[in-house]
């Protein structure tokens, strides 16, 4: 996490950030009361409000779909995720109908298997994780008094990818070709399964995972760089902390799965035997990669919901959260620990006793940070004076259900207990208790709580209570008997069962309960979408909350905030008496949009000193095109239609280049801009002060994690398998490997040199360096691939050549992207987009190449040096 480096006293902002506020802004910052009380000229206030309104106007008519603002994209995202959840819920009902009575023939076996696979996959990948990102995109800027996310077009692109991928994956069950090997896709069952179900799962969900990572990058940058002036990192609303923790977890959890998907699809499409024991592969590698993702995933789902509770509870208690630092530490601790638990999903695979002990202990240990967070909430409610409300009802229900699931989790964490109930209905009960209590109910609490913020109307407390009691009672009726069914020996994922061994009654009760839950969701969905046109607008701060989102405009204004306030407290609306009035008056920062452009403030990572007025993208269609072509590149291969897939891939890259070229890092018409209260900040920054640089850095952390997972695969085979590499195996040709590595290393050095030369106004030298670097990159990538080809490595013969090829292909594809970036900068320099003064692109590309240099050297060492040592 970035905050740990900060505590070591380093300035994470790097060289381009001011060391302190005084250095940046002198006496004008922070603003004094006198400055804030100065009257605003009414004519100017009106004119500036009109300009601001015009700049942030949401497109109307069919152009509405070209919107990129967080409030539109976030709303679409949430509703789409909710819709997918309802679809997956319908699958659950069909599953329950089939299991209502023994030996039922309502669903054929294969259909049942598709349904439970899709139920799990959709709930995880199309609902739980996207819902967090959706709600965060919707809410985070409001918590931070920002106008938008730092990369609004990236959110829009992520959303359209999610929609296309989700419809594709979920739609497959309608045609009876859905994946049917379980949401965990264990090989060899899934690698050998016929039809395209498994490919749909792998490619469709990889596509969505990429979009998830994009959203995580944006959320992290949003929380770090787009806070309002004065909101030091320890004043952030807890929700933002959770966004940082969960975003970080996504960065490190999803890439192992993506790497696994990459290997898996290579096996399915091209018969590279990574998981085939007959050719040296090992199905356990997939289990490790899957659960290194899969367990953090549970906390990725759970922590954001805790974050919602952390916003609702102080309001209910009418006092600040008690134990803020405890909660932050525990959230970070939970995040870290969650990466050390994955093997508790593999307790029955015959792991050594030492591993079982370690993972049992780690699994129990995670109870402590989780408990601290819950007890901090309890303490907040104790020291405050609680106002009961519908959101609190949902929080109470969530606590009751989640703690039950947590306590069965404590049982399961003990390996011996797990040997009995693993893969039984006891687990089905446990996981639904944790996820319903730890995710679904808190999200519903959040919907009731934030609904006035989203729509400026209220949901009905009466319907809310009905929905709650139906869902709560139905939930327990459904899942409590599953504990018994599991203990009576009923395994998971069975489409039928005999009638004479005592499973019929608990199953029938579960089925009845499932329909009660469904009734609860129908009531909830109706309350959510029913027309509220005649209802009066809500009060501006209906719950009496203390955080910035409750300064929202009623009725709605697309600008987010009229002016971006200076923050001195965790609960500014409680502690800064005139803040809303001053925000409304446009007394704070950026009250105007003189140039008619969409702008938001960028501040320093730790102290939130304003450093840039960031111009963000407005409505566009390029994101839709990019998403559609990206979708094509992922979807066509499921039909083994490679030529259209390649065409789509090329067009997607072209769209992204066009989008970046026209929409990002354009030299501004002036270097600096007055943002109010006597502050002047640059419009264009490059390097570590810029959000784009942080975006690249964070993306590359995820990319490096995926690469590390591939390398992990190499080491896994090396240690777990006796014949890796097999005797007499061909190795990649040393000379070519190192020739390629050398060319690519020089390319990296030249890219860095080009940045310096360009800064020093030696534009010609910079261009020559970039051109040479791009040429060397192409040669180097070719040499790396040729090293394996010339040595006759056949990737289908054994897992060793397959792994070598996978590492080399990964490296070659990555440096090829690096080559495009080098040429992009060269073109930027030639066409005046990139100048000695405005060089953000070159900074970001150098950063990318730092990672490439490491990737290339690690690849070369692993494919050439290691086999020599074995």
Partner 1 sequence: MRVRLRIRAGVASACALSLGGCTGVQSVLDPAGADAEVLATLFWVLLSGAVVLWLLLNGAFFYVTRMRVRPHSRKIGEAVIIGAGIAFPTVLLAILLSYGLSIMPDQRAPGDGLTVRVTGEQWWWRVEYLPQDGGGPVVSANELRLPVGARTEIKLTAAKVIHSFWVPNLGGKMDMFPGRETRMALEPTRTGVFRGQCAEFCGTSHALMAFPVVVLPPEEFEAWLAKEREDAAAPADAAAERGREVFLAEGCGACHAVRGTPAKGAVGPDLTHVGGRRTIGAGTLPATAEGFGQWLARTDHIKPDVRMPTYRALPEQDLIDLATYLKGLR
With binding defined as CB under 8 A, does residue 353 bind partner 1?
yes
Shortest gap between Cβ of 290 and partner 1 (angstroms)?
Answer: 13
Q: Toward partner 1, which CB reaches closer, 106 or 375?
A: 375
Quote the CA–CA distance of 129 and 247 in Å, as a whole number. Answer: 11
Phi, psi of 815 (to 5 degrees): -70, -25
CA 367 to chain centre: 24
One of 33, 278, 669, 727 touching partner 1 (CB under 8 A): 278
With binding defined as CB under 8 A, does residue 786 bind partner 1?
no
* Residue linked to tokens 């004065």: 230
Shortest gap between Cβ of 427 and partner 1 (angstroms)?
Answer: 10
Per-residue contact track with partner 1, 837 to 866, x per CB under 8 A? ------------------------------
Q: Which alpha helices (DSSP H) does 730-798 contain, by range?
A: 734-759, 763-790
One of 40, 75, 210, 487 touching partner 1 (CB under 8 A): 487
Question: Cis peptide before 165, with omega less than 30 degrees from 0?
Answer: no
Q: Toward partner 1, which CB reaches closer, 245 or 399?
A: 399
Q: Toward partner 1, which CB reaches closer, 423 or 556?
A: 423
Check if the beta carbon of residue 699 is closer than 8 Å to that of residue 705.
no
Quote the CA–CA distance of 79 and 220 in Å, as a whole number. Answer: 22
- Paired with 673 in beta bridges are 681
834: which 2 tokens? 């990139």
One of 70, 71, 155, 181 touching partner 1 (CB under 8 A): 181
Q: Toward partner 1, which CB reaches closer, 41 or 105?
A: 105
Per-residue contact track with partner 1, 699 to 738, x per CB under 8 A? ----------------------------------------
268: which 2 tokens? 């399915």
Q: Toward partner 1, which CB reaches closer, 30 or 182?
A: 182
Only segment of 179-187, 647-655, 665-673, 825-833 that touches partner 1 (CB under 8 A): 179-187
With binding defined as CB under 8 A, does residue 621 bind partner 1?
no
Shortest gap between Cβ of 92 and partner 1 (angstroms)?
Answer: 17
Residue 95: name the closest of 82, 108, 85 by CA: 108
Check if the beta carbon of residue 301 is closer than 8 Å to that of residue 439.
yes
Instruction: Return the number of other C-beta atoms located less than 10 Å from residue 782's C-beta.
Output: 16
Interface with partner 1 in residues 64-123 (CB under 8 A):
108-110, 113
How far the first Cα of the chain sits from its last, in Å, is 35
Q: Toward partner 1, which CB reaches closer, 419 or 715?
A: 419
531-539 contacts: CB < 8 A, separation 24 or more? 532/455, 532/457, 532/458, 535/457, 535/458, 537/456, 537/457, 538/452, 538/456, 538/457, 538/458, 539/452
With binding defined as CB under 8 A, does residue 284 bind partner 1?
yes
Q: Toward partner 1, which CB reaches closer, 223 or 401?
A: 401
Interface with partner 1 in residues 187-246 (CB under 8 A):
188-189, 192-193
Quote the CA–CA distance of 589 and 798 in Å, as a whole number. Answer: 63
Q: Which residues contact 479 (CB under 8 A, 6 or more apart)?
A: 428, 429, 432, 433, 436, 510, 513
Q: Toward partner 1, which CB reaches closer, 110 or 568?
A: 110
Residue 79: name the closest of 139, 124, 119, 127 by CA: 127
Only segment of 55-63, 165-173, 355-363, 792-800 that touches partner 1 (CB under 8 A): 355-363
Report how many helices (DSSP H) and strands (DSSP E) the chain contains, helices first.
Answer: 32, 4
One of 221, 356, 471, 825 touching partner 1 (CB under 8 A): 356
Check if the beta carbon of residue 559 is closer than 8 Å to that of residue 53.
yes
- Beta strands 599-603 and 610-615, pairing class: antiparallel
With binding defined as CB under 8 A, does residue 489 bind partner 1?
yes
Q: Toward partner 1, which CB reaches closer, 162 or 377?
A: 377
One of 1, 86, 90, 378 touching partner 1 (CB under 8 A): 378
Q: Toward partner 1, which CB reaches closer, 372 or 700?
A: 372
Check if the beta carbon of residue 702 is closer than 8 Å to that of residue 251.
yes
If you ran DSSP here, which 8-state letter would residue 617 be given?
-
Phi, psi of 79 (to 5 degrees): -65, -35
Shortest gap between Cβ of 806 and partner 1 (angstroms)?
Answer: 21
Shortest gap between Cβ of 491 and partner 1 (angstroms)?
Answer: 5
Phi, psi of 18 (to 5 degrees): -65, 145
| Total count of residues recorded for the chain | 870
Shortest gap between Cβ of 390 and partner 1 (angstroms)?
Answer: 13
Quote the CA–CA distance of 407 and 691 in Å, as a whole number. Answer: 42
Shortest gap between Cβ of 438 and partner 1 (angstroms)?
Answer: 14
One of 90, 368, 539, 760 touching partner 1 (CB under 8 A): 368
Q: Which residues contact 174 (CB under 8 A, 6 or more apart)?
A: none
With binding defined as CB under 8 A, does residue 374 bind partner 1?
yes
Shortest gap between Cβ of 385 and partner 1 (angstroms)?
Answer: 6
One of 127, 143, 495, 716 touching partner 1 (CB under 8 A): 495
One of 40, 65, 167, 400 touching partner 1 (CB under 8 A): 400
Q: Toward partner 1, which CB reaches closer, 505 or 654?
A: 505
Q: Toward partner 1, which CB reaches closer, 473 or 651?
A: 473
Phi, psi of 561 (to 5 degrees): -130, 145
Q: Toward partner 1, which CB reaches closer, 424 or 769?
A: 424
* Residue linked to tokens 């005999």: 498
Check if the beta carbon of residue 478 is closer than 8 Å to that of residue 433.
no
One of 361, 760, 813, 865 touching partner 1 (CB under 8 A): 361
Question: Cis peptide before 38, with omega less than 30 degrees from 0?
Answer: no
With binding defined as CB under 8 A, does residue 620 bind partner 1?
no
One of 172, 206, 360, 705 touching partner 1 (CB under 8 A): 360
Only segment of 259-267, 343-351, 564-572, 621-629 that touches partner 1 (CB under 8 A): 343-351
Interface with partner 1 in residues 319-338 (CB under 8 A):
319, 322-323, 326
Q: Toward partner 1, which CB reaches closer, 717 or 824?
A: 717
Q: Toward partner 1, which CB reaches closer, 48 or 180?
A: 180
Quote the CA–CA distance of 412 and 356 in Å, as a whole number. Answer: 12
Interface with partner 1 in residues 412-431 (CB under 8 A):
414-424
Quote the CA–CA distance of 762 and 843 in Å, as a whole number. Answer: 16
Q: Toward partner 1, which CB reaches closer, 60 or 325?
A: 325
One of 388, 555, 831, 868 touching partner 1 (CB under 8 A): 388
Q: Toward partner 1, which CB reaches closer, 489 or 836?
A: 489
Q: Toward partner 1, which CB reaches closer, 373 or 745?
A: 373
Check if the beta carbon of residue 149 is closer than 8 Å to that of residue 563.
no
Question: With contacts defined by CB under 8 A, how many residues of the chain interact with partner 1?
Answer: 87
With binding defined as CB under 8 A, does residue 469 bind partner 1?
no
Q: Which residues contact 139 (CB under 8 A, 6 or more apart)?
A: 74, 239, 450, 453, 549
With binding defined as CB under 8 A, does residue 461 bind partner 1?
no
Shortest gap between Cβ of 838 and partner 1 (angstroms)?
Answer: 50
Phi, psi of 489 (to 5 degrees): 100, 10
Shortest gap between Cβ of 31 and partner 1 (angstroms)?
Answer: 32
- Beta strands 679-682 and 672-676, pairing class: antiparallel
Output b/e per residue, 370-390; b: 16+ Cβ within 10 A. bebbbbbbeebbeebeeeebb
Only segment of 261-269, 406-414, 700-708, 767-775 that touches partner 1 (CB under 8 A): 406-414
Shortest gap between Cβ of 320 and partner 1 (angstroms)?
Answer: 11
């Amino acid at each position: 996490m970035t905050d740990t480096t900060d505590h070591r006293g380093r300035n994470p902002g790097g060289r381009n950030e001011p060391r302190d506020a005084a250095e940046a802004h002198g006496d004008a910052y922070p603003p004094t009361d006198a400055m804030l009380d100065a009257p605003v000229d009414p004519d100017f206030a009106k004119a500036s409000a009109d300009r601001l309104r015009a700049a942030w106007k949401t497109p109307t008519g069919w152009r509405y779909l070209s919107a990129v603002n967080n409030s539109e994209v976030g709303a679409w995202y949430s509703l789409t995720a909710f819709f997918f959840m309802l679809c997956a819920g319908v699958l659950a009902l069909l599953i329950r109908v089939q299991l209502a009575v023994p030996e039922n023939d309502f669903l054929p076996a294969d259909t049942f298997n598709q349904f439970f696979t899709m139920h799990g996959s959709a709930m995880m990948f199309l609902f739980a994780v996207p819902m967090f990102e959706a709600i965060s995109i919707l809410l985070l800027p409001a918590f931070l008094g920002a106008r938008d996310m730092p990369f609004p077009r990236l959110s829009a692109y992520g959303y359209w990818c999610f929609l296309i991928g989700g419809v594709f994956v979920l739609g497959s069950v309608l045609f009876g070709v859905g994946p049917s090997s379980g949401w965990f896709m264990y090989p060899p069952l899934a690698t050998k399964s016929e039809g395209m179900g498994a490919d749909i799962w792998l490619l469709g969900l990889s596509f969505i995972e990429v979009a998830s990572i994009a959203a995580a990058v944006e959320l992290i940058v949003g929380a770090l760089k787009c806070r309002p002036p004065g909101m030091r990192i320890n004043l952030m609303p807890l929700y933002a902390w959770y966004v940082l923790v969960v975003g970080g977890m996504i960065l490190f959890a999803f890439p192992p799965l993506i790497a696994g998907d990459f290997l898996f699809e290579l096996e399915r499409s091209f018969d590279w035997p990574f998981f085939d024991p007959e050719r040296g592969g090992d199905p356990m590698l997939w289990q490790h990669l899957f659960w290194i993702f899969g367990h953090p995933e549970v906390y990725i789902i759970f922590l954001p919901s805790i974050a919602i509770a952390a916003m609702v509870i102080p309001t209910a208690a009418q006092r600040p959260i008690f134990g803020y630092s405890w909660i932050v530490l525990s959230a970070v601790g939970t995040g870290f620990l969650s990466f050390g638990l994955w093997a508790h999903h593999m307790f029955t695979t015959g792991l050594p006793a030492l591993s079982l002990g370690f993972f049992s202990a780690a699994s129990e240990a995670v109870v402590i940070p989780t408990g601290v967070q819950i007890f901090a909430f309890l303490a907040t409610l104790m020291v405050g004076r609680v106002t009961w409300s519908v959101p609190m009802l949902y929080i109470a229900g969530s606590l009751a259900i989640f703690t039950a699931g947590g306590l069965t989790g404590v049982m399961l964490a003990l390996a011996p207990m797990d040997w009995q109930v693993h893969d039984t209905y006891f687990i089905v009960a446990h996981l639904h208790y944790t996820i319903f209590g730890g995710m679904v109910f808190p999200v519903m609490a959040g919907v009731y709580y934030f609904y006035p913020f989203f729509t400026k109307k209220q949901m009905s407390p009466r319907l809310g209570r009905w929905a709650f009691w139906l869902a709560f009672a139905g939930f327990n009726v459904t899942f409590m008997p599953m504990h018994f069914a599991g203990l009576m020996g009923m395994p998971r994922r069975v489409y039928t069962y005999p009638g004479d061994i005592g499973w019929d009654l608990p199953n029938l009760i579960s089925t009845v309960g499932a329909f009660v839950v469904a009734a609860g969701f129908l009531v909830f969905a109706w309350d959510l979408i029913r027309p509220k046109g005649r209802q009066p607008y809500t009060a501006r701060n209906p719950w009496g909350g203390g955080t910035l989102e409750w300064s929202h405009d009623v009725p709605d204004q697309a600008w987010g905030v009229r002016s971006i306030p200076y923050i001195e407290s965790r609960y500014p609306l409680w502690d800064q008496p005139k803040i809303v009035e001053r925000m409304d008056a446009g007394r704070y920062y950026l009250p105007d949009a003189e140039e008619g452009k969409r702008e938001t403030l960028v501040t320093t990572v730790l102290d939130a000193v304003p450093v840039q007025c960031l111009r963000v993208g407005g409505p566009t269609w390029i994101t839709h095109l990019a998403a559609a072509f990206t979708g094509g590149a992922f979807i066509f291969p499921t039909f083994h239609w490679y030529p259209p897939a390649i065409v789509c891939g090329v067009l997607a890259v072209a769209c992204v280049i066009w989008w970046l070229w026209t929409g990002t890092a354009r030299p501004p018409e002036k270097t600096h801009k007055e943002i109010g209260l006597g502050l002047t900040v640059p419009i264009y920054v490059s390097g570590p002060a810029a959000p784009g640089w942080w975006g690249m850095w964070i993306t590359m952390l995820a990319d490096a994690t995926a690469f590390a997972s591939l390398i992990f695969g190499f080491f896994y085979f090396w240690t777990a398998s006796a014949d890796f590499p097999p005797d007499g195996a061909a190795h990649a040709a040393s000379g070519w490997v190192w020739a390629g590595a050398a060319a690519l290393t020089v390319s990296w050095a030249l890219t860095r040199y080009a940045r310096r030369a360009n800064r020093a106004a030696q534009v010609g030298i910079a261009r020559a360096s970039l051109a040479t670097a791009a040429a060397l990159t192409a040669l180097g990538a070719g040499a790396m691939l040729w090293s394996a080809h010339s040595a006759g490595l056949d990737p289908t013969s054994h897992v060793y050549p397959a792994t070598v090829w996978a590492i080399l292909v990964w490296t070659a594809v990555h440096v090829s992207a690096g080559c495009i970036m080098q040429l992009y900068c060269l073109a930027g320099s030639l066409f005046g987009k990139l100048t000695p003064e405005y060089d953000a692109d070159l900074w970001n590309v150098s950063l990318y190449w730092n990672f490439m240099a490491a990737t290339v050297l690690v690849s070369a060492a692993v494919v050439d040096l290691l086999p020599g040592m074995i």
